[in-house]
Amino acid sequence: MTKQFDPAIRRRMYWANTLKNPTTCPECGAGLTTELHAYAIAAQERGEITSFATSNSGGHFCASCPVVVLDNEVFNQITQESPDISRFQVMGIIDVEHTTDDDIAITEFLRDKVIAKSTDKVGRNDPCPCKSGKKYKKCCMQQ
């Protein structure tokens, strides 16, 4: 099955419940597309760190930016299947096509998020700091 969104491309990850509008990209405002992918998860279980993989449609991808918005409800439901998991973190997307019997190919998320500096005041008609090419009033100001 061909993926529209290549799992080998590193992306910035956002949680849907932290966004004002989880159906649009937090960086450029474009609509997001849902796609089935496999994810690597690290979990704290009875004080020990364990890891596991899950495949689900909880990832919503931007076609313009290297961004994925994860649906926290989907991932919470998966981790609640084991009552011993107290915390978890999604480590990255598993690149199934490049995974072998000896090595799991995990594409980690980018660490830097695009955030406007609070010291720089952005005018309504200025270019948006998310670098979408749109004016601020037509992009991130609406969020």
Separation in Å, CA 140 to CA 30, 124, 125: 11, 10, 12
pTM: 0.75
pLDDT in tens, 18-74: 999 999 999 999 999 999 999 999 999 888 999 999 999 999 999 999 999 999 999
pLDDT in tens, 83-142: 888 899 999 999 999 999 999 999 999 986 555 444 457 777 888 777 677 887 787 766
Separation in Å, CA 85 to CA 5, 49, 52, 78, 110: 30, 9, 12, 10, 25
Torsion on CA atoms 57, 50, 66, 63, rounded to nearest 10: -10
